[in-house]
Every structure is written in C-alpha cells, then in structure tokens.
C-alpha cells in the first residue's frame, strides 16, 4: 500500500491516508525507525488530525496491521477465485506468494516484522500477529478439508507458506514460493493420493 494523493478531505480520507502512509514507511524501514511526524508529512495531514485519528503509535500500528490483514485475505481469495478443483485451490496459496514475492517492495510478512519489533513490548501487536496467523491457518484448514484432507495437512502447508515468506524476505529469493509449492504438491499427493 502506498500513500494516497489528495487534499485533507473527510476524516475517513485522512485516516486512510495516514494508514497507507504509515504502512509504506513501516514496511520499508521498520516501525521503530519511523516517527509520527514523518507519517504526518507523508500522509499530508496536520499533527492535530493525526493524533485525533490515532492517539498513539500503537493504535496506528494496529490499524496498519488490520489493513494488511484485509489486503492479505483479499489477495489469497482473489488468487483462488474461480478454481474449481479443490487441490488446485489449496495450492493457489503458493501462487499468491509467488506473485507477492516478485513485488520489488516485498520485505517479508508485515506481521512477522511487527511481532519481531514490538511483540515483546506490545501485547496488542503480538495478539494482532497471532490472530492473523490463526486466520491463515483456519483458511488453509478449510481448503484442506474441502479437498478431502485433514488439519494435519493444513498445518504442514501453512508451515511451508510461513517458511517461504521468511526465506524470500531474508534471502531475497522469489523462487521460495515455487519451491514451497513443489513441496506442497508432494504433501497433498501423500495425503490425498496421486492424481
């Protein structure tokens, strides 16, 4: 997400601009490296408006994570949309990852990054990261059950996806998604039988 252009506009517009600006800055440089004044400048809002929307930085971080969660869910759902075969729909998670990892702005999972920076000092940020990861686990579990597998396969596939995200971020390797997808195909075949 990048900062949105425009005038101060409505409270909703200002809030969206602040969240988008904060997201871009936090994701590129880290949460602790970015001050609220820098967010204010990037969003094009007054300091008064910024603090009216977000009384503290933690509230802003949580709003950014909420927006990232929706972006993640929309992306995964978009990638799986229209795929009738339950096995292919299950593997579409890795197709989404490959698309994401190929983005020049990719810097890993925003939730893992936020947890690494603030998880020990902000229970709210730690809980937001846990909820996001549980939501993903639940999504993969639903897809696995629809394909005729069980929760164990879902846990294995979610771990592959998480590992691919970390590898892609640290090693700078977009092909981590393809490697994880190949491993996922083996796991799916072992759980459901070959095609």
Q: Where are the domains of the chain?
A: 1-55, 57-192
The 8-class DSSP code of residue 54 comes to -
SS (H, E, C) 73-90: HHHHHHHHCCCCCHHHHH
The model scores a pTM over 0.85 = yes
CATH number of this structure's domain 1-55: 1.10.10
Q: Which residues of 42-74 are buried (b: 16+ CB within 10 A; e: fewer)?
A: bbbbeeebbeebbeebbebbbbbbebbbeebee
Q: Are 57 and 35 in contact (CB under 8 A)?
A: no
Nearest-CA neighbor of 174 among 128, 87, 107?
A: 107
Instruction: Write out pLDDT tens, residues 51-107.
Output: 999 999 999 999 999 999 999 999 999 999 999 999 999 999 999 999 999 999 999
Fold classification of 57-192 (topology level)? Tetracycline Repressor; domain 2 (1.10.357)
Q: Residues near 178 by Cβ (< 8 Å), separated by ≥ 6?
A: 94, 98
Instruction: Write out pLDDT tens, residues 6-44.
Output: 334 456 899 999 999 999 999 999 999 999 999 999 999
The percentage of residues in the chain with a pLDDT greater than 70, rounded to a whole number, is 94
Give whole-number Cα distances, 193 to 9, 140, 143, 154, in Å: 56, 18, 16, 16
């Amino acid at each position: 997400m990048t900062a949105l252009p425009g005038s101060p506009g409505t409270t909703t517009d200002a809030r969206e601009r602040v969240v988008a600006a904060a997201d871009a800055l936090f994701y590129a440089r880290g949460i602790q490296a970015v001050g609220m004044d820098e967010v204010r400048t990037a969003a094009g809002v007054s300091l008064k408006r910024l603090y009216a929307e977000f009384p503290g930085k933690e509230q802003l971080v949580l709003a950014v994570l909420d927006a990232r969660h929706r972006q993640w869910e929309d992306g995964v759902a978009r990638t799986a949309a229209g795929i009738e075969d339950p096995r292919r729909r299950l593997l579409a998670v890795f197709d989404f990852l490959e698309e994401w990892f190929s983005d020049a702005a990719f810097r890993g999972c925003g939730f893992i990054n936020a947890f690494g920076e603030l998880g020990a000092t902000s229970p709210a940020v730690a809980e937001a990261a846990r909820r996001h990861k549980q939501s993903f686990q639940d999504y993969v579990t639903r897809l696995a059950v629809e394909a005729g597998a069980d929760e164990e396969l879902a846990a294995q596939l979610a771990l592959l996806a998480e590992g691919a995200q970390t590898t892609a971020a640290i090693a700078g390797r977009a092909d981590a998604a393809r490697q994880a997808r190949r491993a996922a195909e083996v796991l799916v075949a072992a759980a459901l039988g070959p095609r």
